[in-house]
Every structure is written in C-alpha cells, then in structure tokens.
Amino acid sequence: MAELAIIGGTGLATLKNLKISKREVIRTPYGEPSGPLLHGVIGETDVVFIPRHGRGHTIPPHRVNYRANIWALREVGVCKVIAVAAVGGIRQDMEPGRLAFPDQIIDYTWSREHTFFEYDLEHVNHIEFTRPYSDDVRCLLIKASKQLDLNAVENGTYGATQGPRLETAAEIKRMQRDGCDMVGMTGMPEASLARELELNYATCAVIVNWAAGLGAGLISMEDIEASLATGMEKVRRLLETAIPMLQRVNCDI
C-alpha cells in the first residue's frame, strides 16, 4: 500500500516516470475526485498520483473538488503528499523556471468547500495551522533539490487567489504588501484539508511567470508554457530523488 501521493497541477497531468499498476475510482462522501487514482511505482517506491485539474486539464481552480481529492487519498492509506503547483513569481528571486518550496500561505479564496468539519459534529474542531506545510517533507524536498543542484527557492509565502482569471497589477501590489512571495490558485483549501485529515503535506511550486505588473509587458501563455516545460522536467528529476528519501518520514503529524 502506498503511503505517498503526488497531486499534479498545471503541466503535470501525467507522470512519465510513474509505472502504473492500476487505476482506482474512489467514491467519497464529498462527490467525485478529479479523476481515478493512479497507483504505480517510481523507482522502487509505491506512489499514488492524481491530476488536480483532471487528466485533460478541464477543471478550473475554483471548481476542483479539493475535499474529494484529499479524502480519496486518505481512504487508500496515503499519509504523505507532495502537491505540485504552477505559480507566478512575486519576490525578486522567484524568476520563471525555478522551483520553490513555500513554508507559509495566505488565503484569498472564497466560497470554496474548505473543511470536513461542518455537520453532525460532537464538538467544534479547530486545526493547528501555524506552520501549514509538513517540515519533514519540505526538508527532504529541499535536500533532494540541493543534491540535483536545481537552484530551488527554499522558502516563501504562497498567496492563494480564487481564479480562474489572473490577478491585476494592483492586486499583486497588495499581495506584496501582505508578504506574499508567489501567487497561485490551488494552494487553499488543499493544504488545510490535508491538515484536517492529518496528512503530511508540502508543495513543490513551479514558477512559470512573473506576477502581473512585475514582468516586461503582459503575461503570455506561450511564455508560461515554456517555463512549465522547463520546470516540470526539474520536478520529475526531483521526485525521482526525493521519493526514496520520503519513506523515512513518519506518518504521524
């Protein structure tokens, strides 16, 4: 049984280095996940993979069923999660093509189903969320990136916006003032839902563009796709190195 899952974001609808053994459709109390869970092996390690936006990248960020995805992973025995996400760079060292491992998050989303603790509760649940990402998983991702000399950014605050549109230049200025270093659309409620189910969750962010108003001219999809291709190749190399290390991470938060 696989303890480790990878959630693929934009540009990572499939994992080329995953040898698939089976596809599993999971029914959850929260509806349908983004797709079947793909069970397989990377190297010699059992892994579960799910594409966050669906196999054909047809589910926009605000319509992803985050609860179903996280519940399905826990249901099959997963306790550690690497979430891959494409982001825009805000901080000066967050240039396109680099990987980053955020250690904090600010939530700007609204009206998303953001908790499992809603109805028929014996008591109100307030999760501890001071450090939203698993330090153990983050540290091993950083260690693997250093071994591969990937020049990854080792920290940063992820600003999670609603989408699916990109942000305005004024919104990015506000996020800078708030302390955000990168901007994406899928970081929340995925991270907090993982914490509610006691999963060791960390994000590998792929910086694909300068955030609005910070680059030369307008944001172009062609430039994003070029940065995605470069970044996702780094992600595949990172996963091959990091996944064997992650077997040492205890499943208890």
Does this model's pTM top 0.85?
A: yes
Find the CATH number of the domain harbouring 208.
3.40.50.1580
Residue 219 belongs to some domain of the structure: yes
> Is residue 75 included in any domain, yes or no?
yes
Q: Average the pLDDT over each of 12-16, 79-83, 178-182, 191-195 and give the range with the smallest value.
A: 12-16
- Whole-number pLDDT of residue 66: 97
Q: Is residue 123 part of a domain?
A: no
Contact predicate 141/100, CB 8 Å: no
Q: Are 108 and 160 in contact (CB under 8 A)?
A: yes
pLDDT for position 118: 79
The verdict on residue 230 lying in a domain is yes
Residue 225's alpha-carbon distances to 57, 134, 166, in angstroms, are 14, 29, 15
| Predicted pLDDT at 16 | 65
- Structure tokens given for 206: 């792929």
- Kindly state whether residue 119 falls inside one of the protein's structural domains: no
Q: Where are the alpha helices (DSSP H) in the chain?
A: 66-75, 135-147, 169-178, 190-196, 221-246
- Domain count for the chain: 1
Q: Is the pLDDT reported for residue 13 higher than 60?
A: no
Is 6 in contact with 46 (CB distance < 8 Å)?
Answer: no
Contacts 24+ apart (CB under 8 A), 213-216: 213/168, 213/169, 213/170, 213/172, 213/173, 214/89, 214/90, 214/172
For the residues 209-233, what does the mean pLDDT come to?
84
- Decide: 170 and 147 in contact? Cβ < 8 Å: no
CA distances 230 to 55, 86, 137, 207, 237, Å, are 20, 12, 23, 10, 11
| Residues facing residue 123 across a β-bridge | none
Lowest mean pLDDT among 183-187, 206-210, 244-248: 244-248
pLDDT tens profile 91-110: 999 999 999 999 999 999 99
55 is in which domain, residue-wise? 4-113+128-246
For the record, the structure tokens of 66 come out as: 């985050």
Give tens-digit pLDDT for 134-164: 999 999 999 999 999 999 999 999 999 999 9
pLDDT, one tens digit per residue, over 18-42 is 778 899 999 999 999 999 999 988 8
Residue 122, in any domain of the structure: no
pLDDT in tens, 34-92: 999 999 888 888 899 999 998 888 899 999 999 999 999 999 999 999 999 999 999 99
CA 96 – CA 119 distance, rounded (Å):
43
pLDDT digits (tens, 9 = 90+) for 194-205: 999 999 999 999
Whether residue 155 is contained in a domain is answered as yes
Report yes or no on 253 lying in a domain. Answer: no
The tokens for 183 are: 């901007």
